[in-house]
Structure 1
Amino acid sequence: MVNPSAQDRPCGVVAFVGLGHMGGPMAANLVRAGHRVVGHDLVPRALDAAVAAGVEAAPSAVAAAADADVVLTMLPAGRHVLALYEEEGLLAAARPGTLFVDCSTIDVADARAAHAAAAAAGHAAVDAPVSGGVMGAEAGTLTFMAGGADTDVARAEPLLSAMGKKTVHCGPAGAGQAAKICNNMILGISMIAVSEAFVLGESLGLSHQALYDVASTASGQCWALTTNCPVPGPVPGSPANRDYRPGFAAPLMAKDLGLAAAAIRAGEVRAELGLRAAEMYRGFAQGPGAEQDFSGIVETLRNEPLRNPEGQAHE
C-alpha cells in the first residue's frame, strides 16, 4: 500500500536519473522552475552538463533517490527501468510513498511491470513518455502522455508542466506508453508518405516549394510536412536544412516503431503500414540513418531502386 499521505507530499526534492539528450534539458527546466533537482547519469559528460544547469550531482541513482519526493527516469529501454527499480535497488532506497515517474518510451508490458513493482514497494507510479524531441525538451514544450491513477498523475502534474506545455492523462498503468507508440506509428508512416510524395514530385518535375505550398494548405497537411519537412527549403527550421542532424533521431523512431510492431503482432491487429514502416526504419537506422534525423529516410527512398513484390529491383 502507498502511504496515505504520499499524494499530499510536495515536489520538494526531485531525483532525475538519465540526463542525456532529453533528460538533461528536462532536468534543467525543472531547476529553472524552482525545483531542487538531484541527478545522476552514467555518462560523466551528461552529468557535468546537468550540473552546469543547476542540477545537484549524486554519485549513484540510489543516492539521488534516497531523500527524494519524486523520482523521474529517462532511460533507453524497459529492461533498464526494471533493472534500476528492482535489481539496482532504486525502489528499496526511496522513502515510503515516493512518486516514480518514468518518462522513457518502453513496452506497455514493461510499464505495467514497473507500476506493479513500485506499488509492491510502497510507492506510487506514473508512466509519462514524451513527444516533442530534443528541441521540445530544451524549449519546455513537450507533450506528456500519462498513465496511472488520477491522484498520482495530479501529483506529477506540477513537474510535467515545468517541462512541457501539455499533459494528457491517457488512462491507467501503461496507457501513456500505449498512446506514445500509437502516436509515433502515425508519425513514422506519415514521414514515409510525405517523403515518397516529394520523391514522386521530383520525378514529375515539380518543385519542392510548389508541392509544399499545395499540400501544407490542403488535405496532405500534417506535422511531418509542415514542421519536419524532409526536403530542404520550405521549412527553414527542419533538420533537412542542417544535413539531417537529429531533432528526433532515426534509431529512436526505429525503436518506437519496433515497440508498435511488437504490440501489433501480440494483439493480432491488422496494421500493415505500421509493420512496413517499422521494417523500413529498422533498415534505415542500421545504415545511413544511424546518426540522422528520421526525416532523412527521404534520401533512401530517392536513391534505392524500386523493388517489386518479390523483392527484386526493377530494371
Structure 2
Amino acid sequence: MPSPRVAFLGTGLMGAPMAANIARADLPVTAWNRTPEKAARLVEHGVRVAESAADAVAEADVVCTIVSNAESVEDVLFGHGVAEAMRPGAIFVDMSSIPPRIEKRHAEQLAERGIRHLDAPVSGGTRGAAEASLAIMVGGRKDTFVAATPVLAAMGRATRVGPDGAGQLAKLCNQVIVAISVGGLSEALLLASAGGADPAAVREALRGGFSESRILQEHGQRILDRNWMPGGLVRNMLKDLDAVIEEAEDCGLDLPFVGLARSLYQSLCDRGVTGYDHTALLLEIERRNEPHRVGDKPDVTPM
C-alpha cells in the first residue's frame, strides 16, 4: 500500500515540528501557512510548501490542521477553499482545540462532500511536538482512525475516545486537569517560599510521592526558572476553559474549580499577559499576595 500523501495546514509553534516529524516518517508532506515564512523553514525537512491551502490539499489523502481557534479552522476549511479542494474519501484531521459542538458541525459539513473527518487535539506542548511524543485524543469513526494511524503515529500516541467531537471533549478534560494543577502547584511553591522553605528543594522532596506528575516535573521547573516563554499560551488556556464551562452547562454540570481557574486566567489576560506560557498563572497568584514571590530569578518573558 502506498504511503498516504499528507497536507499540513498551520505551521506555527506546534504545527512546524509536527509536520517535520511526519516527513521524518518518510511520508510525503505538503505544508501551507497563512504566514508563508513559517512554512518555508520546513523545506529542509523535505516538505513541499504550497502557495495556497487549496493547492496544498488537492492531492492529499490526509489533511492535518492545527490553528489557534474555531474561527481559524472555519476560515481554513471554507474561507481558503480547503473543503472544496479536498478529494472525496480524503480525511480531514483537525488537531486544533475548538468546542466539540463546532467540531461535530464541521464533520457533518464535510460528510456532505464525501470527506472523512477526525478531531484529534493534542497535549504535550512544544516539547511533545518536537519529540513526537504528543498525546493525541481522537474523535471519529473507527475505520477512519485506522486509516489515519500512520500519520498520527508519526506525531505521538493516538487514542480514539469516541465519535466526532469526543476528541475535543477529551482535550477539554485535559485542560481542566492542567489548569487546576498549575494553580495548585503555583500556590504550593508560593506557600513554601513565604514560609521559609526552599521551593526548589520542596519540589524535589515531593518527587515520587502522590503529587508526582509531569506538571510537577516540567511546569514546576518552569516556575522555579520563572520562564514564561510559551509552550501553551495563556490566551489559549482561557479559550479552552471557556469551552469547558459551555460544555459543562450543556451537560447540566457545575464545575467550581474550573470557574476559579478561568477567573484567574481572565485576570491575566485583562492585564495583557496573553502570550506568556500558561504557567504564568503564578503571576496572578503572586499579585494577590504581594510582596511574596517564588524565588529571586528574573522573569523570562516573550518579546
Residues 10 and 153 of structure 1: is their aligned pair in 2 closer, same or farther, counting only changes over 3 Å? farther
- Who is 1:115 aligned against? 107
1:10 & 1:114 partners in 2: Cα distance? Answer: 28
Residue in structure 2 matching 1:243, options 212, 227, 230: 227
2:301 corresponds to: none
Between the aligned partners of 2:241 and 2:9, the Cα distance in structure 1 is 25
Measured after TM superposition, the shift of residue 149 of structure 1 is 0.5
2:70 aligns to what?
A: 78
Tell me how far apart the structure 2 counterparts of residues 162 and 242 of structure 1 sit (CA, whole Å).
32
Matched, 1:13 2:11: no
Residue among 249, 252, 266 paired with 1:265? 249
Alpha-carbon distance between aligned partners in 1 of 2:135 and 2:241, rounded to the nearest angstrom: 19
Shift of 1:83: 3.2
> How many residues align structurally?
290
In structure 2, relative to structure 1, the CA distance for the partners of 1:290 and 1:80 (3 Å cut) is closer
Measure, in 2, the Cα distance between the counterparts of 1:10 and 1:167. 21
Query: Residue 5 of structure 1 aligns with which residue?
Result: none
Q: Which of the residues 137, 143, 159 maps onto 1:151?
A: 143
Closer, same or farther in 2 for the Cα pair 1:135/1:285, shift >3 Å? farther
| Residue 240 to residue 114, structure 1, CA distance change in 2 (3 Å) | farther
SS of the residue corresponding to residue 122 of structure 1 reads: coil
**Matching residue's letter, 2:89:** G
Query: How far did 1:80 drift?
Result: 2.2
Q: Are the counterparts in 2 of residues 82 and 110 from structure 1 also a CA contact under 8 Å?
A: no
Q: Is the 8 A contact 1:81 1:114 kept in 2?
A: no
Match in the other structure for 1:32: 24
Q: 1:50 to 1:241 in 2, by over 3 A?
A: same
Equivalents in 2 of 1:11, 1:120: separation in Å?
26
Identity %: 32
1:298 equivalent in structure 2? 282
What is the aligned counterpart of 1:169 among 155, 160, 168? Answer: 160
Q: CA deviation at 1:44?
A: 2.2
Q: Which amino acid aligns with 1:224?
A: I
Provide the C-alpha distance between the structure 2 equivalents of 1:81 and 1:241, rounded to a whole number of angstroms: 35
Of 138, 144, 148, the residue aligned with 2:130 is 138
Maintained 8 Å contact 2:68/2:236: no
Secondary structure at 2:219 match in 1:
coil
What RMSD in Å do the two structures reach over aligned CA positions? 1.8
What does the per-residue CA deviation read over 1:184-235, in whole Å, with 9 as the maximum and x for residues that have no partner?
A: 1111001001111111122211211332133223233333212210xxxxx4
Tell me the CA shift for residue 86 of structure 1. 3.1
**How far apart, in 2, do the equivalents of 1:258 and 1:240 lie?**
28
- 1:60 maps to 52
Show CA shifts across 1:114-157 (max 9, x none). 11111110011110000011111111111100000100011111
8 A Cα contact 2:16 2:42, kept in partner: yes
2:295 is matched with: none
What is the TM-score of this pair, normalised by structure 1?
Answer: 0.86
State which of 255, 261, 268 in structure 2 corresponds to 1:284: 268
Choose 149-158 or 76-85, whichever is displaced more.
Answer: 76-85
Does the 8 A contact of 2:123 with 2:136 survive in 1? yes
* Cα separation, 1, equivalents of 2:70 and 2:2: 28
| Aligned-partner residue type, residue 88 of structure 2 | P
Structure 2: give runs of 5+ residues left out of the alignment.
Answer: 291-303
